[in-house]
Amino acid sequence: MFSERKIKYSNALNEAIIQLMRNDSDVMLIGQGVKSPWYVGNTCSGLIEEFGEDRVIDTPVSENAITGAAVGASLAGMKPIVVHPRADFVLYAFDPIINQASNWHYMSGGNAHAPVVFWLIINRGGEQAAQHSQTLHSIFSHIPGLKVVAPSNAYDVKGIFIAAVNDPDPVIFIDDRWLYGKETHVPSEMYEIPIGKAFIRKSGNDITLISSSYTSFLCETAAYELKNKGIDVEFIDLCSLKPYDKNTILSSVSKTGRAVIVDGSWKSFGYAAEISAMISENLFGQLKSPIERVCLPDSPAPASRTLEENYYITKEKIIEGINKTLNYTE
Amino acid sequence: MSTKSELLYTLYKTMLRIRFAEEKLVEPILEGTVRCPVHLYSGEEAIASGICANLQDSDFIFGNHRSHGHYLAKGGDLKKMMAEIYCKETGCSGGRGGSMHLICPEKGILGIAPIVAGTISLALGTAMASSIRKDGNVTISFFGDGATGEGVLYEAMNFASIKKLPIIFACENNLYSTHLPIQEIRAKNTIVDIANPFNMQSYQVDGNNVIEVYEASREAVERCRSGNGPVFMEFLTYRYRGHVGPDDNIQGTHTDIRPKEELHLWLKKDPILQLEKYLLDNSLMNESTMTEYKKVVSDEINEAVKYAVESKFPHKEEVTNYVFRKKN
């Protein structure tokens, strides 16, 4: 599906919500700040005007109860989207997500299910420090019963968000605000990107680069930059973190023999460790070099700009990781 | 036969079914054939029975760890409950949940869970769904006095009140939060007062008097159905058994929690005995009819246990079934 129209990531997300709500009266949105661009950018523009305050509900600061209410509504057959405009605050709502929603289908022997989308906005940088910057997808990916998606561009966010809302299971949607201004071609009609499918953004033979969300944007830039230097990177954008596209990863790494995983969360015990382990389990002996992880240091996010610069993943750090892997000698 | 006496017979039968089912579990727990944690509702039957007699199948309830009574009173299938407590494939949750995870969506029993206060927000959500859909359904959130220590209750009461949601917060105050008596967990004993700051109608009810429970909750349900919810209800009651299992937690035994006299005082206020006395005093039922009722219920319970015992356990190969509804 190709469209000439180019729109921004945040507009694509807004369009997805509007179309979902027009299409299905069971779709509802609840969370703190849905009335306010201060919280959610322009992703919720026009929603209250069109759908009213019954289905688009701004809330008190009560993450636990509000998230649980979304889960409860889903048990009654609604398709709720609950937004946490700063992912850090979702830690108040671990019970309804991890104890309740993720377990409900299993615990009930398949007799009930919680089709709710937990929309977590990462809003970091600008010296916001440790409690306004966190990226928590590794934690959620660990939990049985949860699906996790982390798109990297406007086309993907529309398609995967629609798929997430229509999915019968609870889905965590990792939404990076640093992507809001980025434009791609986006069809105006509704479409789904299947959960669990990765995309090869650039094919290549020398090394496999794997990422998701905002760091995919950096990886793609790095991959094309290295092409000019004669390094042929194959870049896989996961889009879905759980379930994830093992086959695409394995067929790429069995071709290149090298893998660099770039993940915007902490390194130890994190998402990149899982991908690395999975590759090792399947392709031990075919690897030409150790698997490299480019992640955040095991440290809370700092405030000061000098520290921030050194904390977050950059294109340069990704290229450094790729070079390290390519230059590995036994 | 008048409507009132029919109602009383129904309440009587519901309470008997709960009591007999609970007490029937004592032996299998002690001998180890029932292994999952079982929290018996004996002594508290009037609350679930009285409230649920006002509900329709389409109304929702959520419960906690001590919810066999809620499930039965709302119309959950007895055999499937017993089979679930025995963790069998034929249980209402396919043996994946056990005693603490009963469910019956077609009767509006959308789930029970033992995380204290964990289902209060879920109940808030079904009430919110009813409010959006304007379907006229009411949700009952059952929780105990222990749950008043959890912040989410206050978040939920506030939001329910702002949005006028059709939900009844039904607090079953049995005076003990696992091992701790209420005076050790609350700065103030009167739970009913916690509704005041949220501008919510509230009731404190004798939870051992099924007629009073029925009358008060009928008013509360009507209030919610007509768009004037939410309502907070505190039911004063007592559990005969300890927090978990058949142990009575009497002081001097290994659990050593409560005085024997206290239990004996509450046994005199037994909800079933109270109703029996009312039925006899008002010539609404005679003793031989009561014996007949007990025989019928007892036979039904025995049959349910037989069904549970004879049912198969889930296949071990199926341990990861049901993690997701859809495999992507």
Complex ipTM value: 0.96
Does residue A62 surpass a pLDDT of 70?
yes
**CA A149, CA B254: separation in Å to the nearest integer?**
51
* Candidate from B101, B118, B121 with C-beta closest to A69: B121
Q: Which of A104, A171, A246 would you mutate first to test chain B, the one with the most B CBs within 10 A?
A: A104
For A242, B66, B239, the CA distances from A62, given in Å and listed in that order, are: 28, 27, 32
- Interface contact B148, partner A, CB < 8 A: no
Which residues does chain A have within 8 Å of residue B326's beta carbon, measured at their own beta carbons? 167-169
Specify the pLDDT at position B249: 85
Which residues does chain A have within 8 Å of residue B324's beta carbon, measured at their own beta carbons? 105, 145, 147, 169
* Candidate from B103, B125, B155 with C-beta closest to A112: B103
**CA B130, CA B142: separation in Å to the nearest integer?**
18
For the stretch B72-108, pLDDT in tens is 999 999 999 999 999 999 999 999 999 999 999 999 9
Per-residue pLDDT of chain B (328 residues; tens, 9 = 90+): 468 999 999 999 999 999 999 999 999 999 999 999 999 999 999 999 999 999 999 999 999 999 999 999 999 999 999 999 999 999 999 999 999 999 999 999 999 999 999 999 999 999 999 999 999 999 999 999 999 999 999 999 999 999 999 999 999 999 999 989 998 899 988 899 999 999 999 999 999 999 999 999 999 999 999 999 999 999 999 999 989 999 888 888 887 889 999 999 999 999 999 999 999 999 999 999 999 999 999 999 999 999 999 999 999 999 999 999 999 8
A144 upstream amide cis, omega within 30 of 0: no
Highest mean pLDDT among A37-41, A123-127, A206-210, B186-190: A206-210
> Rounded to a whole number, what is the distance in Å from the CA of B193 to chain A's nearest CA?
20
- Interface contact B114, partner A, CB < 8 A: no
- Interface contact B130, partner A, CB < 8 A: yes
Three-class secondary structure assignment of chain B: CCHHHHHHHHHHHHHHHHHHHHHHCHHHHHHCCCCCCCCCCCCCHHHHHHHHCCCCCCCEEEECCCCHHHHHHCCCCHHHHHHHHCCCCCCCCCCCCHHHCCCEHHHCEEEECCCCCCCHHHHHHHHHHHHHHCCCCCEEEEEEHHHHHCHHHHHHHHHHHHHCCCEEEEEEECCEECCEEHHHHCCCCCHHHHHHHHCCEEEEEECCCHHHHHHHHHHHHHHHHCCCCCEEEEEECCCCCCCCCCCCCEECECCCCECHHHHHHHHHCCHHHHHHHHHHHCCCCCHHHHHHHHHHHHHHHHHHHHHHHHCCCCCHHHCCCCCCCCCC
Asked whether the beta carbons of residue A111 and residue B94 sit closer than 8 angstroms, the reply is yes
Q: Which of A8-22, A42-56, B174-188, B266-280 has the lowest mean pLDDT?
A: B174-188
Residues 6+ apart with CB under 8 A from A100: A68, A71, A114, B113, B115, B118, B119, B122
Asked whether the beta carbons of residue A243 and residue B328 sit closer than 8 angstroms, the reply is yes
Our CA angle for B199, B200, B202, nearest 5°, is 135
Specify the pLDDT at position A274: 98
Domains and CATH numbers, chain A: 6-185 (3.40.50.970), 199-326 (3.40.50.920)
CA A291 to chain centre: 22
Specify the pLDDT at position B217: 98
Specify the pLDDT at position A100: 98
Confidence of residue A198 (pLDDT cuts 50, 70, 90): very high
Which residues does chain B have within 8 Å of residue A99's beta carbon, measured at their own beta carbons? 113, 115, 118
Q: Which of B124, B131, B154, B313 would you mutate first to test chain A, the one with the most A CBs within 10 A?
A: B124
Mean per-residue pLDDT for A264-271?
97
- Contacts of residues B224-227 at CB distance under 8 Å and 24 or more positions apart, as own/partner, are B224/B138, B224/B166, B224/B167, B224/B168, B225/B136, B225/B138, B225/B166, B227/B164, B227/B166
**CA A252, CA A206: separation in Å to the nearest integer?**
10
> Rounded to a whole number, what is the distance in Å from the CA of B156 to chain A's nearest CA?
5
* Candidate from B115, B125, B132 with C-beta closest to A71: B125
Domains and CATH numbers, chain B: 3-306 (3.40.50.970)
Catalytic choice (A132, A137, A142, A185):
A132
- Both structure tokens of A296: 């955040």
Q: What is the DSSP string of A19-66?
A: HHHHH-TTEEEEETTTT-HHHHTTTTTTHHHHHHHHHEEE--S-HHHH
Closest CA to B139 of B99, B109, B115, B171: B109
- Contacts of residues A52-57 at CB distance under 8 Å and 24 or more positions apart, as own/partner, are A54/B131, A54/B132, A55/A21, A55/A25, A55/A27, A55/A28, A55/A29, A55/B132, A56/A28, A56/A29, A56/A30, A57/A28, A57/A29, A57/A30, A57/A31, A57/B128, A57/B163
- Both structure tokens of B94: 């396919």
**CA B168, CA B28: separation in Å to the nearest integer?**
35
Specify the pLDDT at position B2: 66
Mean per-residue pLDDT for A239-264?
98
Residue A117: strand, helix, or coil: strand
Does residue A36 or residue B38 have the better pLDDT?
A: B38
> Rounded to a whole number, what is the distance in Å from the CA of B261 to chain A's nearest CA?
39
Q: List the single residue in A with minimal CA-CA distance to B163.
A: A54
Closest CA to B213 of B57, B17, B49: B49
Specify the pLDDT at position B189: 81
User: What are the two backbone dihedrals, phi and then psi, of residue A28, each rounded to the nearest 5 degrees?
Assistant: -140, 160
- Interface contact B156, partner A, CB < 8 A: yes
User: Which amino acid is present at A311?
Assistant: Y
Q: Which of A63, A111, A171, A241 would you mutate first to test chain B, the one with the most B CBs within 10 A?
A: A111
> Rounded to a whole number, what is the distance in Å from the CA of B62 to chain A's nearest CA?
10
Which residues does chain A have within 8 Å of residue B96's beta carbon, measured at their own beta carbons? 106-109
Q: Is B178 exposed, middle or buried (0-12, 13-18, 19+ CB in 10 A)?
A: middle
Asked whether the beta carbons of residue B122 and residue A75 sit closer than 8 angstroms, the reply is yes
* Candidate from A30, A68, A169 with C-beta closest to B122: A68
Asked whether the beta carbons of residue A62 and residue B159 sit closer than 8 angstroms, the reply is yes
Active site residue A132: yes
Confidence of residue A268 (pLDDT cuts 50, 70, 90): very high
Closest CA to A210 of A237, A233, A239: A237
* Candidate from B121, B127, B324 with C-beta closest to A96: B121
For A52, A67, A97, A114, A169, the CA distances from A71, given in Å and listed in that order, are: 21, 6, 8, 6, 11
* Candidate from B93, B132, B155 with C-beta closest to A107: B93
Asked whether the beta carbons of residue A66 and residue B123 sit closer than 8 angstroms, the reply is no
Specify the pLDDT at position A196: 98
Which residues does chain B have within 8 Å of residue A105's beta carbon, measured at their own beta carbons? 322-325
Asked whether the beta carbons of residue A78 and residue B129 sit closer than 8 angstroms, the reply is yes
**CA A112, CA A103: separation in Å to the nearest integer?**
10
Residue A143: strand, helix, or coil: coil
